[in-house]
Amino acid sequence: MPAVENSEVRIHYELSGNDRGEVLVLGNSIGSNLGLWNKVLPALEKEYVVLRYDMRGHGMSSTPPRPYSLDQLGGDVLFLLDSLEMNRVSFCGLSLGGIVAMWLGIHAPERVRRLVLANTAASIGTPKMWDERIATVQSTDMGNLANAVLTRWFTPSYCEAHPDEMKIARDMVAFTDRNGYLACCDVLRDTDLRNELGAISAPCLVIAGKYDPATPPSDGQALCRSLRNSKYVELEASHISAWERADEFAREVLAFLVPQDLATG
């Protein structure tokens, strides 16, 4: 199990893809792990060295005690990049992963080439909503939570047509460490980057899901308007568009990233 570790956290990661390509980092949503990207991975690996990782409190990464901060989640990425001697990368983040991507664009602009901000917003939901989610997680088991999460992650028609995939997605949530999930709820409740987006100079692709109840298209459109150099794409999907519309998602990401590679040789 490849991982990097310091006195605070152990971050599990996987590297794959074209060893002649630039590095593309994939950051997952709350309640998921690096398997979130399995359906887009074959297309992305053709062009890039793909670095996937489990956020702290998720997957096979360690679960330090609460609270977590966005600075810590962003710092984990920089620690991972430094440990792997990767200087400058493109970063594709979905939901909470997208917020981490924005943090990198704001606080470590010299480390990012381009950003893909998928199914995310500068501020997701409301503090009251996240406090209610925290209370729910504290009063139920992760398996019951997983059943509710799937109704937000995927459209009903996709759930019905792909029962085997729904089992994989449900297990991903159900086996997430409860304390790690709660700590990342804290981060989402406390994060509002709307007044900091002007600091992001990297080109950005904003991907929204037409049927996403968590970060609806209006959130993606507002995010795109606030970024100085951005493009907006809307897919026929709910919250996990990289899974539900994997082929279209991969095409949009590659179309956005590859010109940068060609321009820089």
* The pLDDT of residue 123 is above 70: yes
One-letter amino acid of 247: D
Instruction: Express each pLDDT in 140-190 by its tens digit.
Output: 999 999 999 999 999 999 999 999 999 999 999 999 999 999 999 999 999
pLDDT at 258: 80
Sign, Cα dihedral of 220, 221, 227, 230: positive
The domain in which residue 140 lies consists of 3-263
d(CA 253, CA 133): 31
31 confidence band (pLDDT: 50, 70, 90): very high
User: Mean pLDDT lowest for which of 31-40, 153-162, 218-227, 253-262?
Assistant: 253-262
* The pLDDT of residue 261 is above 50: no
DSSP 122: S
Please tell me whether residue 50 adopts helix, strand or coil conformation: strand
Distances (CA, A) of 124 to 6, 98, 117, 201: 30, 11, 13, 22
Of 260, 206, 171, nearest to 94 (Cα)?
Answer: 206
Mean pLDDT to the nearest integer, 34-59 = 98
Tokens of 169: 């997605």
How many domains does the chain contain in total? 1
- Reported pTM: 0.96
d(CA 253, CA 195): 26
Q: What is the CATH number of the domain that holds 219?
A: 3.40.50.1820
pLDDT at 131: 97
* The pLDDT of residue 264 is above 60: no
The number of angstroms, rounded, from the C-alpha of 200 to the middle of its chain's C-alpha atoms is 17
d(CA 140, CA 203): 41
d(CA 47, CA 36): 19
In 3-state terms the chain splits into helix, strand, coil percentages (rounded to 5) of 50, 15, 35
Of 213, 233, 235, 236, nearest to 157 (Cα)?
Answer: 236
243 confidence band (pLDDT: 50, 70, 90): very high
Beta-bridge partners for 212: none
